[in-house]
Amino acid sequence: MKLSRYFSRPGAVKHTVQKALGAIALLIFMLIMSAENPPHPGLTGSIILVLYLMSLWAVGFLFRVFGMRITSVTDEAEATMLHSITLDLISRLYMPVLICDEDGRIIWYNKALSQIFHAGEVLYGRYLDQYCTATVREIRSSDAPDGFPVAVLPTVHAHFHNNTVFDEERQTLRRDFRVKNYDFTSEGKNYTLLFWNDKRDLVTLEQKMENAESVVGYILIDNLDEVLQYVGEQYRLAAAQVESILNRWIADRDGLIREYERNKYLVVFEARHLEALRESRFSVMDEIHTVRVGESNMPVTISMGLAHVGGTLTEKEAAARAALDLALQRGGDQVVYKTEAGVEFYGGRTKSVQKRTKVKSRVFAGELAALIADASNVLIMGHRFSDHDSIGSCIGIFKFSEFCGVRANVIVNEQDPNIRICLERFAARGDYSGVFVGAAAAQDLITSETLLIICDVSNPYNFESQEIYEAVRKTVIIDHHRKTGELKYAPALTYIEPSASSASELVSEMLEQSLPLGSLPKEEADLLLSGILLDTNQFTRNTGVRTFSAALYLRSEGASPSDAKMLFRTSPDDFMREAKFESNVIIYRDIIAISVRDSDGATADDRIAAAKAADRLLTVSGVMASFALVRVDDTVHISARSQGNVNVQLILERMRGGGHYDVAGAQLRGVPMQTVLEQLKSAIDGYLADIT
């Protein structure tokens, strides 16, 4: 045994010394006893005992004096040996390790770290951010459980290694490293120990698994029946052309397509094809548009719902079906792509073809009557800043609920000047006493069995009262605007028909098929007709056979076009408000007219004037779409109109707005007018870029 190892054990040293001193004491005793005149034996034994005890005390004293030093030296030797072993282990570790100071200057690194930096030079004294995409401060401030994501920079030394050019893939910055930090202090200075965990294989495997995931989709030829209503003999040829395009499209992606009903298809393919599809903005829709039939030469369109979500195939299928429903509720001719992160929309550039059949309206009326009959009471509301279509459809649903025998109330803002004339007309009637209530009073009417019916709006942001919507769990949506997203709570019943001219048209059809003839009072019929007149601009925009059919029914119930137009009477002040918009007009991109009014003191009446100004701007030669902007308090209101060649709904969707193909609106709260104007121009540019 080496002496150093032996003396590294202080207990053994003390024990050995004690034995030696005991032997010395015994030797002294033997020498004394062997002398010619030995002392008294008892005295000699006492002397020996005293000497022995003194030796023990001396050993203890010496050990206390020198023992701590021996232990300290031994501990330092052990620490030095452990430090040498640890440093050698880290140096040989396959995982890259680096030590730097608090400024990011490299103090020490191992061989594995030098290899990932592809450095043929000494790194000592250089800074961390010269070789990677992160600083030491960013790494230290990160709380990511698996480390801060870092990519190695393609430095000068990364271009050549052993006279061989690196692969392009390797030159690409990939954040496949996760760096964990461990901070420590030495001699008053702060240092950071960085462990680099290479996640490349794991990331590659995750990417392969993600690319191999199944994407489920539904495809519907959404207007073939309407396009071919007069040329039925060409149906088979048109359907075969569409199916051929779809089969070729899915075959190029190694997918599966099956027709489960006439004009309805189920598709399944791998997620690795999604990126290319999104980049092409699902160009298969443009291929379908090339199929044209009949004398009208109208293009055939499809709607598609795709779901790239987690879960089972059953959950994917349900999400795809919901995406297809959303595409149809937005007017068709588009793809709705649903992911865990949200919903994306592609297409939607053609106008909706109005359905000629009223079957859906009749079925919906029956289902709504059943829901109303099961409710304790009914609350009805439209959108904020109500107009004639919103209040008219609410009044129509009130009469429908009354016919079902259930008490109903209409939630309105009684201070809203937009509907002042309408409310004054009904206030004189005794049967409407207590029918109109504010949002605060409506809170007291809510029970567990209350049914909420929302008319002329499907975006919660624009509800007359979001608090009422949050408080009532059973809701019904009736709207003609294209749906802009999912509701927080799934409604019990939904009737969204973008091909309809107005919500008043939809409600009038329901009343026609539910109420006995002659049972709708004239005032209600006039108000419903005014709603249709407003949204069709006196039957000049977005009208179809069913629009005139609804107007004919209302006329038979006593509605008068002249009395309905009286609800739009304009005061001299309103006329002057409208004139102010026409004095500040710019023409953008040669086809877009934009009018702006940004002055203090504007009221809700100016918002109505903006809508009328947008209508009049369409009469300017060469203008295909118009936008009128007005600031009321801290909110900028946008009214948009189109001749039919520009989808203003898609433009304003980029600004959290929405509406119809040729009638849309948006409200931006707390945003300066100049910023809103820039956002609008950017949205127009984006839309025009997408369609070209």
CATH number of the domain residue 581 falls in = 3.10.310.30
State the residue range of the domain holding 160. 97-204
**Residue 69 pLDDT:** 47
**Residue 52 pLDDT:** 53
Whether 369 is covered by a domain: the verdict is yes
- β-pairing verdict for 475-479 and 493-496: parallel
Q: Kindly list the distances between the CA atom of residue 295 and the CA atoms of 6, 210, 494, in Å, as whole numbers in the listed order.
A: 109, 47, 35
CATH of the domain at 515: 3.90.1640.10
**Residue finishing a domain among 302, 321, 347:** 347
Whether 354 is covered by a domain: the verdict is no
Mention every residue, 6+ apart, whose C-beta is less than 8 A from residue 371. Answer: 451, 474, 476, 492, 493
Q: Which residues of the chain have pLDDT under 50?
A: 1-8, 43, 66, 68-83, 156-172
Mention every residue, 6+ apart, whose C-beta is less than 8 A from residue 415. Answer: none
Reported as half-sphere exposure (CB side, CA atoms, 13 A), residue 459 has a value of: 20
**CA 421/CA 418 separation, integer angstroms:** 8
**Residue finishing a domain among 288, 319, 347:** 347
**Residue 277 pLDDT:** 92
Q: Kindly list the distances between the CA atom of residue 94 and the CA atoms of 89, 527, 611, in Å, as whole numbers in the listed order.
A: 10, 79, 69
**534, 577: one domain:** no
**542, 463: one domain:** yes
**CA 315/CA 395 separation, integer angstroms:** 40
**85, 103: one domain:** no
**340, 368: one domain:** no
**443, 511: one domain:** yes
**332, 400: one domain:** no
Mention every residue, 6+ apart, whose C-beta is less than 8 A from residue 403. Answer: 514, 515, 519
CATH of the domain at 270: 3.30.70.270
How many degrees, rounded to 5, is the angle at CA 355 between CA 351 and CA 360? Answer: 130
Strands of the 343-347 sheet, one edge to the other: 256-261, 264-270, 214-221, 302-308, 334-339, 343-347
**CA 113/CA 100 separation, integer angstroms:** 13
Q: Which amino acid belongs to residue 600?
A: D
**Residue 300 pLDDT:** 85
- Total structural domains in the chain? 5
Mention every residue, 6+ apart, whose C-beta is less than 8 A from residue 331. Answer: 348, 351, 352, 482, 498, 499, 661
**60, 103: one domain:** no
Whether 681 is covered by a domain: the verdict is yes
Contact 139, 118 (CB under 8 A): no
**297, 390: one domain:** no
**164, 20: one domain:** no
Three-state DSSP class for residue 655:
coil
Whether 170 is covered by a domain: the verdict is yes
Cα 17 → chain centroid: 80
